[in-house]
């Protein structure tokens, strides 16, 4: 219960990585406010954590909406100690895996990726800082990606947005240190998300050697090939690290960018 008495905000927390983070923070004693575009899913996920947790419908890519959501968190929970910027994701319009190279990426898709993965972090952080300062200490954890650390030719917009999140993390760590607000970025590796389920299903259906395999088995084949430790990451892996970074156990850490990827970026760096 090392986070008991603290309040954590998790954006995009209704499903996937965000839901796993919320569970781990709640397990460590924090009261969790889940912000998500899908307000019903946010409320359902919060209810699953316990009566004290809250779910709020919010588009955190918009500064005014994000600010209103942060105000609601403080009104309902009394304070804010931690902000986990998890809202984000990919889309086909900005991916080259489904068509031509970079020159074929649609501007609409590029802009959507910047809004979903970078502007969400900007708006949520900007509107949360004043609340974090009121506690005389706080923590911001940005969920980036290994795509922001290594070349990402099949998803250049996503990789560029996550690289920008990493840069912003370091900048904020310096700027907010005087207020004892610590800022970190976690870069997850391969997780069996909804996007990977779709991609693995396509591989399975389009490849004779994979025809008899379950899509998750196809995914794990890729994991074992690309990850030295040979195992996938889980939302709880991300959540446990986020909980540690929020805790007093990490009180002298800031500006850290941690690749939670089973060693995949090491393998890429080593050729």
**Is 109 exposed, middle or buried, given 0-12, 13-18 or 19+ CB atoms closer than 10 A?**
middle
What is the pLDDT at residue 195?
Answer: 74
What is the pLDDT at residue 93?
Answer: 55
* Helix boundaries (H) for 115-193: 120-133, 156-176
Residue 95 pLDDT greater than 60, yes or no: no
What is the pLDDT at residue 196?
Answer: 80
For 139-151, what is the mean pLDDT? 95
Q: Give me the torsion for CA of 17, 21, 23, 24, rounded to 10°.
A: 140
Residue 271 pLDDT greater than 70, yes or no: no
The token pair at 233 is 């990451």
What is the pLDDT at residue 270?
Answer: 60
What is the pLDDT at residue 207?
Answer: 82
Give me the active site residues, please: 158
| 22 — pLDDT class (breaks 50, 70, 90) | very high
| 212 — pLDDT class (breaks 50, 70, 90) | confident
Q: Tell me if 113 sits within 8 A of 195, measured CB to CB.
A: no
What is the pLDDT at residue 269?
Answer: 62
Percent of the chain with pLDDT over 70: 94
Find all residues with CB under 8 Å of 172, minimum gap 6, and list them.
125, 140, 183
Residue 50 pLDDT greater than 90, yes or no: yes
Q: How much is the pTM? A: 0.92
C-alpha distances in angstroms, 242 versus 22, 85, 208?
10, 11, 40
* Crossing angle for the helix pair 120-133 and 63-77, to the nearest 10 degrees: 40
- pLDDT tens per residue across span 164-178: 999 999 999 999 999
Residue with tokens 């996550």: 162
- pLDDT tens per residue across span 97-141: 545 578 888 889 899 999 999 999 999 999 999 999 999 899 999
For 51-56, what is the mean pLDDT? 97
What is the C-alpha to C-alpha distance for residues 237 and 201, in angstroms, rounded to an integer? 24
Please provide residue 6's backbone torsions phi and psi, each rounded to the nearest 5 degrees.
-100, 160
Half-sphere exposure in the Cβ direction for 217 (13 Å, CA):
8
The token pair at 61 is 């890519």
| 23 — pLDDT class (breaks 50, 70, 90) | very high
Mean pLDDT score of the chain = 92
What is the C-alpha to C-alpha distance for residues 93 and 155, in angstroms, rounded to an integer? 10
What is the C-alpha to C-alpha distance for residues 162 and 181, in angstroms, rounded to an integer? 21
The token pair at 34 is 């889940």
- For 7-190+233-262, CATH gives 3.40.50.720
What is the C-alpha to C-alpha distance for residues 71 and 63, in angstroms, rounded to an integer? 12
C-alpha distances in angstroms, 112 versus 88, 95, 119, 124, 150?
10, 12, 10, 17, 21
SS3 35: strand
What is the pLDDT at residue 198?
Answer: 80
């Amino acid at each position: 219960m090392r986070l008991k008495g603290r309040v954590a905000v998790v954006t995009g927390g209704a499903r996937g990585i965000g839901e796993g983070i919320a569970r781990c923070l709640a397990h460590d004693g924090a009261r969790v406010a889940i912000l998500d575009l899908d307000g019903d899913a946010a409320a359902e996920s919060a209810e699953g954590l316990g009566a004290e947790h809250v779910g709020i419908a919010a588009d955190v890519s918009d500064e005014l909406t994000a600010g209103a959501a942060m105000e609601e968190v403080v009104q309902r929970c009394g304070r804010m100690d931690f902000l986990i910027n998890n809202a984000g994701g990919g889309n086909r319009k900005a991916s080259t895996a489904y068509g031509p190279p970079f020159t074929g990426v649609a501007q609409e898709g590029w802009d959507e990726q910047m809004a979903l993965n970078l502007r969400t972090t900007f708006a949520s952080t900007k509107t949360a800082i004043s609340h974090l300062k009121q506690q005389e200490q706080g923590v911001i954890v940005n969920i980036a990606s290994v795509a922001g650390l290594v070349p990402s030719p099949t998803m250049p917009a996503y990789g560029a947005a996550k690289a920008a999140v990493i840069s912003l993390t370091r900048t904020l760590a310096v700027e907010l240190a005087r207020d004892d607000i610590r800022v970190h970025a976690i870069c997850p590796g391969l997780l069996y998300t909804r996007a990977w389920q779709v991609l693995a299903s396509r591989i399975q259906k389009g490849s004779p050697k994979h025809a008899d395999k379950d899509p998750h088995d196809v995914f794990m084949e890729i994991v074992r090939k690309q990850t030295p430790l040979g195992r996938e990451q889980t939302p709880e892996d991300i959540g446990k690290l986020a909980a540690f970074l929020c805790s007093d156990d990490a009180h002298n850490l800031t500006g850290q960018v941690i690749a939670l990827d089973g060693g995949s970026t090491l393998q890429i760096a080593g050729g």
